[in-house]
Each structure stands twice: as C-alpha cells, then as structure tokens.
Chains A and B, each alone.
Chain A
Amino acid sequence: MEDRYSIIGKDVPRNDAVAKATGAAAYTDDMKLPGMLHGKLLRSPLPHARIRRIDTSRAERLPGVKCVITGEDTPKVKYGNWRLFPTTQDEYPLAVDKVRFIGDEVAAVAAVDVDTALEALELIRVEYEELPAVFDVDAALAKTAPALHEASPTNISIDRKISYGDVERGFSASDYVREDTFTVHAVSPGYMEPCSSLALCDLDGRITLWTSTQTPYIVQCLLASTLGMRENDIRVIKPFVGGGFGGKMELRPWEFCAAFMARRTGRPVKFTLTRQEELCYGRRRHPMKLWSKVGFKKDGTLVAKDLKILLDGGAYNAMGPTATFLCGNFGAMLYRYPNYRFLGEHVYTNKAPASAMRGFGAPQSLFAAETQMNMAAEELGIDPIELRIKNAMVTGDEIPGVATISSCGFIESLQEAAKMSGWKRKRKNFKAGRGIGVGCYSFISGGVFNWFNTQYPFSAAEVRAFADGTVHLLTMASDIGQGSDTVLKQILAEELGLGMEDIRITSADTAMTPQADLGTWGSRVTLMGGGAVQNAARKIKEELFGTVSARFDLNVIFEMECRNGRVYAKGKPERGMTFGEAVALAQKARRGEPLVARGYYTPRDKGLVTPAFSFGAQVAEVEVDRETGIVSVKKMWTAHDCGTVINPMAVEGQLEGSIHMGLGYALSEELQVENGRTMNNTFLDYKMFTAEDMPPGESVCIETYEPEGPMGAKEAGEGLASPTAPAVAEAVYHATGYRCKDLPITPEKILKGMKK
C-alpha cells in the first residue's frame, strides 16, 4: 500500500538550518543601518516610588547623545495584551508618576554608540519619593498593604472562578480527603538571545521595527496605540529569533522607545538588552501558592477537587490573566473530576512582572495536582500509575461548558511509560537512595479566548501558485526556533503534492503577510497556523481539480489528487498533468489572473479553552546521595500523545528541550529575589543544566488523530514542561522519604526532610 503521506511524518531538516549553521542567519542585534543610534534604558533602583522630578539636561548635553526621553515626552497610553478588558492594561512604555519594581523603565537615551548612551544614563537625575513595597502575595493582600495600582485597591488585579458539580457534596461522599499547600518559585525563560529591537522611520513617518518577538501582530497593534499611530503605519518584522519560551510575547518598552526615538531623530535606533537586564528585570514564570483539597472513594475513584491559587504577578499584569485562567483549567485536566471548584487570584507585588513561560500556568498547577495524586496513591495503597489509569480522561470526555476531549492517548501514554521504565519492578525493589516517580501533563493547542480582541482571523495564510510548479506561502506565524516555518511548509507540501524545495516562505512580516496571526504561544501554531495553510491549499486544489477535470473531461464523481508534483484523477494518474501545467492552464482560464488563495483558521464553538488537548506521562529515575542530598537524575522515560507527528525530529527536539527546562525547574533554576531585587544576574548564578548534567532519555509518541488539527496534529513540546518536576519530586520521595511541596528540590531541603 502506498504511504498515506509523502512528507508528513518525515524527519525533514529545518529550512533555516543551513543559515543558522553557517552564521549567516541575522538576528536583530546582528543588523545595522546607516546612521543607526544605540539606545539604553534607565531603570528604577527602587521597588516602589513616586517620581518627583526627572532632570535630563546634563545627559542631553553630552556629546553624541541624540535623544533623551521620559514618560512625560510620550503620549502616556497604557498597554497590555488583554485588550478585550482595557482595565487590565496597566503598563506605560516609560513610567508615568510612579515606578513599581526594581528595573521599571524610567527614561531612555539614544546616542551614537553604546558607551555614550550608558554614560548619559548616569547623568540623568531622578528624584524619587520612596513608597512602602510588598514582595510576596501575603504581604500584598494584607489590609494595610500599599496598592500598586489605583484601579486595584486590594492588589488583586484579576480573578477567575470555575465551578461545576457540587464540591461540598463530593467531599462528604468521599472516603478519603486530603488537603495540601504547595509553593512554586520564579524561573527565567532563559532564551539565549537577549531581546533586541531596531526601528526605522521612513520619510512619510511610517515605522518599520525589526524585533525579537513571538508576536509581531500584537507588537504592531500595541505599538500603534501607544504611539498614537495607525496600525497600518507600523510594520513589524520578526527576523531570526533566538528562543522565546513565552518571554517575548508582549509589547516591550524598548520596542516603543526605539520607534518613538527613530521618529524623533529621523535616525534608526537599536536597543539590545544585556543578560543582566534579562535575568533581573525580564519576564519570568509565576511563583504561586496553591491550596488543593481532593476527595477519593476507597477504590481510588476521584470525587471532588477544590483548588485555590494565588499568583505572584509582580508589578504588572503582563500575561498573568491568561496564566490565572489556565492554571485553573489545568487543575481539572488529566482526570475525571465530577465536582470541581477553582478560584485563582492574580496579585500585584513590587517585583519584576511574571508572565507567560512554557506551559503558561500548567507547570505550577500540575506540580501540585500530580504531587497530590502521588501522595493520595500512597495513602490509598494503590500504585500511582494504576490510580491515574483508573481516573484518566479518554477521547470524548467532556468538561461541562468548558471543553470536549476530541482525542486522547493518555491511558496509552501511562501504560507505555510504565513499560519502558520497568516501573513495576523498580517501584517494588526499593533500594535506599534510588527512586522512581511519575508525573503527567495535558496541554492546549492554542487558546480559543480572544483576549487580544483581534478583528481578524486567529491565523491566516496566503498561497500563490506559479506555472513553474512552485508556490509561495505567506503567513504571519512566527518561527522563534521551534520550527514552524518548516512544519507549515510540510503541511503545504503534503496538501499540494510538492517538495519542500518547491515552496518559498515569507513569514512574520505584518506588512507583507496576511492579517493576522496571534503569534507563537500556547502551542497554537501547528494547529491554527497549519489549519490556515491547509485551508488555503485546499482552495488552490479545488481550482486545479476543476481545471484538470475539464481538460480530461472527467466524470464529476471522480476523486482527484495532488501528489508527486502532479494533479490527476485518483487511481488514473495518466489523466492528469504536472502541478505547474495545471496552474498554467488555470491561469489561462482566468485570463491571466494569478492563482492565489487565502486560508484562515479561527476556533469557533470549541468551548472556553482550546480546540485540542495533548496528553502524556513521564517517569524519572533518580539517585540521591544520602550524605550530601545531591540528586542525580539517571534516566527519563516519556510517552506523549501529540496527535499525528508531522516532523518526528522536531518533536523529539521539543521533548528533549522540555526535559532540560523541566529538570532545571525541579532542581537547579531559581530566581532569588530579595526585597524585590533579583540577586542572580548571570548564568553562573542562575543555573541551567549543561550537556554534562543531562540524563539519558527514551521516548515514544502515542499517535492519535486529532480531528481539529491539520492532518490530525496537535500540540507538542510545551505541555512537556509540566510532568518533569512532579516526576522527579516523587522519585526523590521514593528514594529518601522527603516529599517536596515547595519547589525547587534542593539538597538542603532533602537532608532536612529525609527519613533517617
């Protein structure tokens, strides 16, 4: 039998790999324009203060300085990604009246070189009136706490409730109820490329901005509103981007300042952040305090769950509202909870804002949920994997009013992870200092909630077909390293029966690619961007099918195909022609009008969360040195359901990268924040796993078919940020008797908590 697909499921190398391997790929900071100025930001040294006065005169007089601005020079328009609810938009590009965290941007300088810009920063005098500050959620919620923002006198900026069934009745009907409190810490996305933006203002006053972003469309719109310009007068181009992981999906002050100062000076302006700025002031994963109560029947059947989460949001909302929403949704995922209640509150504190980071609320929520599952399994006397299988969601399950599980390989993932890891044997034959544990995840394939209030489709694609047998794909989807350009080309190649080399791609340029695409976050691109590409490709195909059908006088009931560069009647390849010939003929029939199609994807009637969920299970084996408390991870086994695998090598790469980040979250990475100041400002102090630290791993994809995804595909690689910490925590417990409810797992905590 002929393979179902020609190019889906193949290890196609990334289309930009050669450019990156040779150093030819230009990232934003690699770009230079004639007359370009260099920008630097003055940041607040205080966690909370009123700005009395700013004197920039000395800085302005420094030779080589071309422009100095403060909040007073700007149109003072607040921004934020949740445009649908303008009250959540709480940030100014440069501080107006008040600063709210150490690092809050106060002024900006553009000068002929970086050294001059830095020197000028030192000449700016800011008079502050220091205000009382709060550094954790408890302090922020105290009655006497100072309010960070007038609009939120309680410091709770947004809350989210979910409720179905009857939780109280559920608990009274339970045989076993437990309650636990968990805390999780802040970590950095740690992308290798520091943020950089370069703005150019043309003679008509229009702006072109090259910027290291995951969301060119969001940057375009918010830049327009903060500058008081029209959206179409701003062009945002995403060059090569060195990773984002959620940390580059908002408008940022330096993007605004580059554009604003380029307009003022008539010269291009570039800002590039330092690693110290990234670590100390950059976006981070939310620290959270989670309280969870869960009830079971004696036989392990889940009956009810009550979950309350306080998110330590830092000084601004950033993507916190979405994280608040998602950590509540993920509290109810994986298992069947007939009764569920959630209250999430996003709390302002005087620290660098937390935001989206790989998993977007799920890693925190699932650390608590999965750890509690492991604790319950022990007390119920049921194997943790058995307990999960007993309660696991399956295809067709429904969360009332919230979501339908349209494809689910969770039970198979659990079974496979148990088999690969030798789970039964290793759990039983306990060796002191050795342990094995399990953690699981589910994740979204893009969100359905239109918080950005876009007036366009969520994803769009344009396909232009040419008589030489090639096509041009235009999409605003952003490849930030995950490989979406390659995957979208694969989807198009498969639909049209072409080779990768026949497709030219232009992506992530807001003036050239069709409106719109919400960007790279929440694992949305393969399903949504891919859906748009497929939709456009099918319109092209319809046209070609009509043309070829007319040429060969085919019976109307004939099915037709595009494959191997040809368009023909299915099963009768001789009744057909090459793709290029078909395009030429179609174009003739249209009296020269080129063959172009646009495709769109917008999720409709898909509940409140996502069109499709991924699932997976992971097992970790560790060895703990009982003298030092040092954990060494021996091996990781992962089985995950990401629907149809479009590019196995890319999926594996995502999986391995997730384990790297997951292990860091569990064991080594922590932003140490003292009185609002992030103390670890280098990679020496912020410890990410090196090649030597990484354990070996084994993985398997459980293939399911997701009806909503292109070719049956769905999310891969972001959800996997979640299972690692609970799996390692359980393995450490198995090895030592120390139960971690307070990430990260450190040698000190283990030594203190170890059962002697």
Chain B
Amino acid sequence: MKHEITLHVNGDEYPIAVDPWRTLNEVLREDLNLTGTKFGCGSGDCGACTVLVEGRSVNSCLTLAVEMDGREITTVEGLAPSGERLHPIQEAFVERGAIQCGFCTPGMELSALHLLEKNPKPTEAEIRSAISGNLCRCTGYNKIVEAVADAAGRMKPKK
C-alpha cells in the first residue's frame, strides 16, 4: 500500500504517495525529477547520492522515502542561495578544478556543506575526513580538498 507523505525539498513542498520500500534516492530522481542527486552503488559506499536531511548528510540510497515525511531535505539543486547562480562551495569547485567527470560532485558538495555549517574553518585533515565517505575516481581528491578549504573562506560567517 502506498503511503501519503510530504517531502520538503529545497524549500518546496511535494505531497506524494510512495511505496514503503522506495528509497529517497529513487523518489528524488524518478518522481521529483531532481536528478542532480546521483546513484553510484546503492549500498552506502560511494556517497554519490548524498543529500542533507535537516542539515545532516545522509546517503539517499539507504534512506526510505516514507521516513522523510515532513523533513527538510537539501539536494544539489537547492544549494545556491535564491537569486544566485552558485553557492560559494560550487564556485570554489568550478574555479579550483575540483570537477572532472562530475559524477561525485553533487555528493561532495553536500558533504562539504555539512562540514562547513558546523565547522567554518576546518583543517585539511578535517576536510579529508568529512568527504571520506564520498568516492571520486577522477581527481585524486586534492583539488576537491582545496576547493572546500577555499569555500570556507568564501562563505559568510553565520550570525
């Protein structure tokens, strides 16, 4: 039987009916057409599907959609502040060469956001640890780590 739930994604409300076994990843990609969130493994090992739920990073491939009823979800499509093209994290990824094939990028950016929201001035080791659940096969991570450090400097401190 389908469950009636409401997802709050990037500030928008989506009342939907979902089968209880469907993952947040499937619902985002297939029902809401938010395909910026990727699917790389389905077993919680690659981080390509990372989204934020109430500010915490989770693997959307391991999260059931029904459990997300009423929760605030942020995907890569909701990263840039309204009216702006890019979030400082995205700017830094673009300018620092942190993107090659780009398949890991949305997940990386959300893991970075999770880190920077709780730790605005992370050390290199803290950055590496924060993205250690996100695999990247292209970049060797260095430019991603540099981009996250750079983004920390670009982000306005929260009041």
Contact = CB atoms under 8 A, between A and B. Distances in A.
Interface of A: 11, 13-14, 16-27, 29-30, 32, 189-194, 240-243, 245, 274-275, 480-483, 649-650, 652-653, 655-661, 682-684, 688, 690-692, 694, 697
A655 B97 CA distance: 13
Given A192-B135, A481-B102, A683 B141 contact: no
A533 to B, nearest CB: 21
A278 to B, nearest CB: 9
B6 interface: no
Contact of B41 (A29, A242, A683): A683
B99 A17 contact: yes
Nearest to B75: A23
Given A22-B76, A481-B102, A691 B137 contact: no
A653 B97 contact: yes
B135 A690 contact: yes
A192 B42 contact: no
Contacts of B43: 275, 682-684
Among the interface residues A25, A26, A655, which one has the most CB atoms of the partner chain B within 10 A? Answer: A25
16 contacts: A17-B93, A19-B102, A20-B102, A22-B36, A23-B35, A192-B135, A242-B38, A275-B46, A653-B100, A653-B139, A657-B100, A657-B137, A657-B139, A657-B140, A660-B141, A683-B45
B137 A243 contact: yes
A192 B99 CA distance: 13
A652 B140 CA distance: 10
A26 B103 CA distance: 10
Contacts of A655: 140
A11 B40 CA distance: 29
Contacts of B139: 653, 656-657, 660
B101 A480 contact: yes
Interface string B122-159: 00000111011111111111111100000000000000
A511 to B, nearest CB: 24
B36 A688 contact: no
A259 to B, nearest CB: 23
B86 interface: yes
A660 B80 CA distance: 30
A242 B140 contact: no
Contacts of A23: 34-37, 75-77, 106
B17 interface: no
Contact of A21 (B90, B129, B145): B90
Contacts of A245: 137
Contacts of B35: 23, 26, 29-30
Nearest to B141: A691
A650 B102 contact: no
Given A22-B79, A23-B76, A691 B97 contact: no
A20 B144 CA distance: 14
Contact of A242 (B95, B102, B133): B102
Contacts of B27: none
A240 B94 CA distance: 16
A194 B141 contact: no
Interface residues of B, number: 55
Contacts of A682: 41, 43, 45
A650 B39 CA distance: 25
A694 B141 contact: yes
Nearest to B91: A21
A23 B28 CA distance: 13
A191 B41 CA distance: 11
A697 B146 CA distance: 13
Given A17-B93, A23-B77, A653-B100, A192 B141 contact: no
Given A481-B100, A656-B140, A20 B105 contact: yes
B138 to A, nearest CB: 5
Given A193-B40, A683-B43, 6 more contacts: A18-B94, A23-B34, A192-B103, A240-B102, A242-B101, A243-B100
Contacts of B77: 22-23
A189 B103 CA distance: 15
Given A23-B35, A682-B45, A683-B43, A481 B75 contact: no
A657 B138 contact: yes
Nearest to B41: A275
B29 interface: yes
A658 B142 CA distance: 12
A18 B85 contact: yes
A193 B103 contact: yes
A21 B99 contact: yes
A299 to B, nearest CB: 39
A115 to B, nearest CB: 9
B86 A21 contact: yes
Contact of A22 (B80, B136, B138): B80
Contact of B102 (A16, A274, A691): A16
B104 interface: yes
Contacts of B136: 192, 660, 691
A249 to B, nearest CB: 15
B97 A11 contact: yes
A40 to B, nearest CB: 14
B85 to A, nearest CB: 7
A192 B132 contact: no
Contacts of A29: 35, 39
A469 to B, nearest CB: 25
Contacts of B38: 27, 192-193, 242
A688 B86 contact: no
Interface string B69-88: 00000011101100001100
A21 B93 contact: yes
A691 B144 contact: yes
Nearest to A192: B103
A255 to B, nearest CB: 19
A192 B101 contact: yes
Contacts of A483: 100
A192 B75 contact: no
A22 B86 contact: yes
Given A22-B80, A25-B102, A691-B132, A697 B45 contact: no
A201 B134 CA distance: 37
A32 B29 CA distance: 10
Among the interface residues B104, B137, B139, which one has the most CB atoms of the partner chain A within 10 A? Answer: B137
Interface in B17-55: 29-30, 33-43, 45-46, 48
A512 B75 CA distance: 34
A247 to B, nearest CB: 11
Nearest 8 A-B pairs (CB), nearest first? A23-B36, A481-B101, A20-B102, A242-B103, A656-B140, A683-B45, A23-B76, A30-B35
A657 B98 CA distance: 11
A192 B48 contact: yes
A26 B34 CA distance: 11
Contacts of A193: 38, 40, 101, 103
Contacts of A656: 139-143
Given A192-B135, A192-B137, A650 B101 contact: no
A620 to B, nearest CB: 14
Given A692-B128, A692-B129, A30 B95 contact: no
A694 B140 contact: yes
B140 A659 contact: yes
Contact of A13 (B85, B95, B128, B140): B95
Among the interface residues B38, B79, B132, which one has the most CB atoms of the partner chain A within 10 A? Answer: B38
Contacts of B137: 189-192, 243, 245, 657, 660-661, 688
Nearest to A693: B132
A719 to B, nearest CB: 16
A691 B145 contact: yes
A16 B109 CA distance: 16
Contact of A275 (B40, B79, B90, B133): B40
Contacts of B48: 192
Contacts of B46: 192, 275, 683
A182 to B, nearest CB: 26
Contact of B40 (A189, A192, A659): A192
Nearest to B105: A20
